[in-house]
Chains A and B, each alone.
Chain A
Amino acid sequence: MVQNRIDHKWGMVIDIDRCTGCNACVVACQAENNIPLNTEDRFRQRRAIQWIHIERYWEGEFPDVKARFIPILCQHCENAPCEPVCPVYATYHNNQGLNVQVYNRCVGTRYCANNCPYQVRFFNFWEPVWPESLRNQLNPDVSIRSRGIMEKCSFNVQRLRRAERIVEGQQGGRISDEDLSMGNFLPACVQSCSTSALVFGDFNDPNSKVSRMKEEHLHEGGRGYKLLDFLGTEPNVIYLSKVDPYATDAGDGHA
Chain B
Amino acid sequence: MGITRRQFLRWTGVSALGAVVFNGCRIPEEELQIESPVNLPEDLVTGIDNWYATSCRQEPGCGVIIRVVEGRAKKVEGNPDFPVNRGKHSARSEAGLQTLYHPDRLQTPMFRADRNDDFLPISWDRAREILNAGMNSLSDRSRFLLVTEPLRGHLALLTSEFVQALGGRHMAFQSLEQINLHRAVKEVFGQDRLPDFDIENANYLFSFGADFLSTWLSPVRYAGGYGEFRQGDRKRGTHYQMDSRFSMTAANADKWVPVKPGGEGVLAMSMAYVIIRDGMGNADAAAALTDGQGPQALNAFAPDSAMVRDATGLDSGKIEDLAHSFADEGHQPSLAIGGGTAGAHRSGLFNLKAIYALNLLVDNIGKKGGVRFNPAPPLPELSREDVASVGMPASYREWQELAGSGSVDVLMVRGANPVYGLPPGADFARVVNEANFVIAFSSFMDETAGMANLVLPEYTYLEEWGDNVPSPGPSYQTLGIQQPVVRPFHEGTSSFGDELLTLGRELDLRLESRLEVTPDATMKDLIKAGVEKLWPENRGSVTAASFEGFWNGVLQRGGWWDTQATGDSGVAEIKPLDTAWDGSGLGDPGSGMFSLVPFLSNSIGDGQLAHLPWLQASPDPITTVVWHTWVEINSKVAEDMGIAEGDILEVSSGAGTLEAPAFPHPGVPPTTVSIPIGQGHTGMGRYAEGIGDYNYNTLSLLESTTDKDTGALAWAATKVRVKKADHGHSIDIPKFAGNQFAEEPHKGTIIKVTGPS
Contact = CB atoms under 8 A, between A and B. Distances in A.
Chains A and B bind each other: yes
Interface of A: 15-18, 20-24, 26-28, 30-32, 37-41, 43-44, 46-48, 50, 53-58, 60-63, 65-70, 72, 117-119, 131-140, 166-167, 170-173, 176, 178-179, 181-184, 188, 191-197, 223, 225, 227-228, 230, 239-247, 250-255
Contacts of B1: 171-173
A-B pairs, 10 with minimum CB distance: A195-B227, A131-B103, A27-B91, A247-B755, A194-B223, A194-B88, A241-B752, A43-B734, A67-B251, A38-B617
Contact of B3 (A24, A38, A167, A250): A167
B88 A57 contact: no
A56 B624 contact: yes
A69 B213 CA distance: 14
B636 interface: yes
A188 B94 CA distance: 11
Residue of A39, A40, A43, A191 with most partner-chain B CB within 10 A: A43
B626 A43 contact: yes
Contacts of A17: 230-231, 236
A171 B3 contact: yes
A137 B91 contact: no
Nearest to A186: B77
B666 A58 contact: yes
Contact of A228 (B80, B691, B749): B749
Contacts of B692: 40
B642 interface: no
A60 B246 CA distance: 13
Interface string B438-464: 000000000000000000000000000
B238 interface: yes
Contact of B88 (A30, A183, A192): A192
Interface size class of B (residues with CB under 8 A): 35 or more
A53 B736 contact: yes
Given A39-B617, A194-B90, A244 B667 contact: no
A48 B736 contact: yes
A136 B75 CA distance: 11
A46 B738 contact: yes
B748 A178 contact: no
B97 interface: yes
B214 interface: yes
A244 B74 contact: no
A198 to B, nearest CB: 10
B602 A176 contact: no
Given A20-B621, A247-B755, 5 more contacts: A23-B619, A72-B742, A137-B101, A196-B224, A255-B743
Interface string B3-14: 111001001000
Contacts of A197: 227
B252 interface: yes
B75 A55 contact: no
B94 A57 contact: no
A241 B749 CA distance: 11
B3 A195 contact: no
B76 interface: yes
Given A137-B98, A167-B3, A32 B636 contact: no
A180 B669 CA distance: 45
B120 interface: no
A54 B614 contact: no
A22 B3 contact: no
Nearest to A163: B3
B754 interface: yes
B8 A183 contact: yes
B255 interface: yes
Contact of B737 (A132, A135, A255): A255
A22 B51 CA distance: 25
Interface in B42-75: 51, 67, 69-70, 72-75
A43 B213 CA distance: 26
B103 A27 contact: no
A228 B737 CA distance: 20
B747 A253 contact: yes
Interface string B248-281: 1101101110100000000000000000000000
Contacts of A138: 74
